[in-house]
Amino acid sequence: MTSATPAPNWRATFPKLAELTTDVVFGDIWERPELSKRDRSLIIVATLTALYRTDQLRGHIRRALDNGVTREEIGEVITQLAFYAGWPCAVNAASVATEVFAERGI
């Protein structure tokens, strides 16, 4: 399980969803060579910010940092999305990112 994978408490109740998450999302989609994992991370952080998906965003910001996206780049993605996805989405994402940066000491 990766830092972007949801908490394991639902896995026993929804085993097929857990299997698809592991095998398809993180096993197939994330491993396709047409985009780097770094680029995929930027796309996912942007998408989750725009969709106001705080729980998933937290893990994907961690994954983005692991995939070489910088704190500054994450900040730029969130700032740009304030104008395209809405101010509340961006402020929410900024709060989540700040928490993740603090836990990482960056």
Does residue 28 lie in a domain region?
A: no
Question: Which region, left, alpha or beta, applies to residue 64 given φ > 0 means left and ψ of -120 to 50 means alpha?
Answer: alpha
Give me the pLDDT at residue 11, please: 86
C-alpha 84: how far from chain center: 18
Q: Which CATH number goes with the domain that contains 78?
A: 1.20.1290.10
Give me the pLDDT at residue 5, please: 53
Identify the segments of the chain with pLDDT beneath 70.
Answer: 1-8
Q: Go through 34-68 and write b for each residue having 16 or more CB atoms within 10 A of its CB, e for each that does not.
A: eeebeebbbebbbebbbeebeebbbbbbbbbbebe
Give me the pLDDT at residue 1, please: 45
Q: Is the pTM of this model over 0.85?
A: yes
Does residue 6 lie in a domain region?
A: no
Structural domain span for residue 86: 35-104
Does residue 52 lie in a domain region?
A: yes
Does residue 18 lie in a domain region?
A: no
Does residue 29 lie in a domain region?
A: no
Does residue 74 lie in a domain region?
A: yes
- The distance in angstroms from the start CA to the end CA of the chain is 24
Total number of domains constituting the chain: 1
Give me the pLDDT at residue 10, please: 86
Give me the pLDDT at residue 41, please: 98
Does residue 83 lie in a domain region?
A: yes
Does residue 85 lie in a domain region?
A: yes
What phi and psi values does residue 32 have, to the nearest 5 degrees? Answer: -65, 135
CA distance linking residue 73 with residue 66, whole number of Å? 13
Give me the pLDDT at residue 91, please: 98
What phi and psi values does residue 31 have, to the nearest 5 degrees? Answer: -95, 0
